[in-house]
Amino acid sequence: MVYCKIVTLTTTKTSTIKEVIEKLSESITNKNVLQIDIQPSSPISQWKGNTEKLFEFSEIVGQHFEVSTIPQIHTILNIE
């Protein structure tokens, strides 16, 4: 399994995610070997009120690849 992380900002457009994922999907023949991890930017508090956008990103990616949404652990653990 290969993992690909996409760090998203609250300003990231759904159309941008769709374009990137469609291009990636076109260039990968065996989609079962790739998992996309969506990682919202920190601080996570900025996503309050924007969680619907994360669900939209996940739905777009999930049409082509396995997908997970994960926080930035290094900021939670206060590691630089």
pLDDT tens-digit profile of 1-46?
A: 999 999 999 999 999 999 999 999 999 999 999 999 999 998 888 9
Give a yes or no: residue 32 inside a domain.
Answer: no
Residue 77 has pLDDT above 90, yes or no: no
Give a yes or no: residue 56 inside a domain.
Answer: yes
Give a yes or no: residue 64 inside a domain.
Answer: yes
Residues 6+ positions from 42 with CB-CB distance below 8 Å = 71, 72, 75
In three-state secondary structure terms, 17 is: helix
Give a yes or no: residue 62 inside a domain.
Answer: yes
pLDDT at 56: 97
Residue 76 has pLDDT above 80, yes or no: no
Give a yes or no: residue 10 inside a domain.
Answer: yes
Give a yes or no: residue 50 inside a domain.
Answer: yes
Amino acid at 29: T
Give a yes or no: residue 54 inside a domain.
Answer: yes
* Domains: count for the chain: 1
Give a yes or no: residue 80 inside a domain.
Answer: no
Q: Which range of residues forms the domain containing residue 52?
A: 1-19+46-68
